[in-house]
Structure 1
Amino acid sequence: MAKKSKVADPGVVVAYTRVSTGDQVASGAGLDSQQDSIGAEVSRRGWTLLETYTDAGVSGKSIANRPALAEALEAVESGQAGTLVVAKLDRLSRSLLDFAELMARAQCSGWNLVALDLGIDVSTPAGEFLASVMASAAQWERRIIGQRTKDALAAKKAAGVRLGRPSVVPAGVLDRIAHGRSSGRSLRAIAADLTAAGVPTARGGTAWSGSSVQAIIASQAFADRLRTDRGTAARL
């Protein structure tokens, strides 16, 4: 969360505009419309427009990797301006989580955030209420996403899908581990032999452990190798 900084006059504003497609960038129609709306509001309220920051040809899916938006936020959070204004909320962000975060940053640092199309203004009581609603909705969305991920993993596990990265251990190493177990050797002893022989682990490491050997034994690749060996033996 942004730290508290010098609060500027809310009447000193910076504007942010964005277009996401090459056609909009080339035609200028999207940017012209946004700038006209912001200019009209600046005149109506008697604001002083310090600067307009524009990200051209950039997606609104996330607030990350948008240089102009980063500059606009720096302007309000450093106290150069007191208000960040956008013509449309989706020009700022299409993510509920990102927008809730920006509203929280505005409230924490004392600058104002205005979205003209929805009448959002966090300096007003209605804007404060909306900020709290958005924060609650964002928290709900985080929990829903987490639950969906948990449910999806549980469903895969119930269907017998092995989770995690597939084994990249060569067949010869699988055979060596299988032989060690069939000979009655412990997991630790097998691990020591593999380490001493300089055999890389499944993740490219140099030191085997009993648990890493057990992970290989529990892997789909090991089970498939055993089935192959048994099928070969049955045909002989």
Structure 2
Amino acid sequence: MPKTKTAPQNTAVAYLRVSTEEQAESGAGIAAQRAAIEAEAARRGWVIVGWHTDAGASGKSMTKRPALADALEAVEGGEAATLVVAKLDRLSRSLVDFAALMERARGNGWNLVALDLGIDLSTPAGEFLASVMASAAQWERRIIGQRTREGLAAKKAAGVRLGRPASLPTEVRSRIVKAHREGANYSAIARSLNADRVPTAQGGKQWYPATVKAVVNSQEAESVGQ
């Protein structure tokens, strides 16, 4: 998102987060995070222009966190120059997600600071640490990908059928294939199924030519594999 204005370098937005379990501890987690950020802001002369808190939110993913979305909108919209967190895991417990956020900060021209690990993209040391973490995240992505491929290959070798299981009743699949073999096109088959109110594989009410084609292709692939 392009910046609409440039924020003064001494401005920052603070992001705080506690999980459901941490929230049960009388809010002590939030208070401790805020105290750490306020102390650093006083030391560095920052003006905190916004406090954004996700309470009862997991750190496993950076999605479905409205306060984080607001904090990112603030730095990317030019309302503040820095996004600061007391601890790295307040942003994310995923190294891959955090590396992506660092690249986003670099690309969009705002600073990212995590107080517990000394990450600060505005300093050479912080930049170096961020680069190391990005390299580690890339390695992690490759390892996960390799393990996934190896796991799928092992299942395939063992005869395990991959992909989503067929959820259409046998009689519906047979009807579609039979009509196709008798010369009906995909549109005509879809109209016939809709007229008879036959549910789709996911329980939907509307068949489309592309849906019918997918069923036919699936059945043909099964026949080849047998």
Structure-1-length-normalised TM-score: 0.75
Contact 2:3 2:77 survives alignment (8 Å): no
- Counterpart in the other structure of 1:54: 53
Aligned-pair identity (%):
60
What's 1:89 paired with? Answer: 88
Separation in structure 2 between the aligned mates of residue 38 and residue 52 of structure 1, nearest angstrom: 10
Aligned equivalent of 2:112 = 113
User: Are 2:179 and 1:193 aligned?
Assistant: no
Q: Deviations over 1:112-163 (max 9, x none)?
A: 1111111111100011112222222222222112111111110000101111
Deviates more, 1:57-66 or 1:4-13: 4-13
What are the residue-to-residue correspondences of 1:61-210 with 2, within 5 Å? 61-168=60-167, 170-171=169-170, 191-193=180-182, 195=184, 205-206=211-212
Q: Displacement of 1:106 after TM fit? A: 1.4
The structural deviation recorded for 1:213 is 3.9
CA RMSD, 1 decimal: 3.2
In 2, Cα distance between equivalents of 1:194 and 1:92:
57
SS, match of residue 161 in structure 2: coil
Instruction: Point out the structure with max Rg over C-alpha.
Output: 1
In structure 1, what is the Cα distance between the partners aligned to 2:214 and 2:55? Answer: 51
Contact 1:7–1:111 (CA<8 Å) still a contact in 2? no
Who is 2:34 aligned against?
A: 35
- In the alignment, is the contact (CA less than 8 A) between 1:190 and 1:213 conserved in 2? no
CA contact (8 A) 2:111 2:120 kept: yes
SS in 1 for 2:182: helix
Deviation at 1:207?
5.1
Are residues 169 and 30 of structure 1, via their aligned partners in 2, closer, same or farther at CA, if it must alter by over 3 Å? closer
Residue 217 of structure 1: which of 213, 223, 226 is its match? 223
Structure 1 position 174, deviation (Å): 7.9
1:229 paired residue number: none
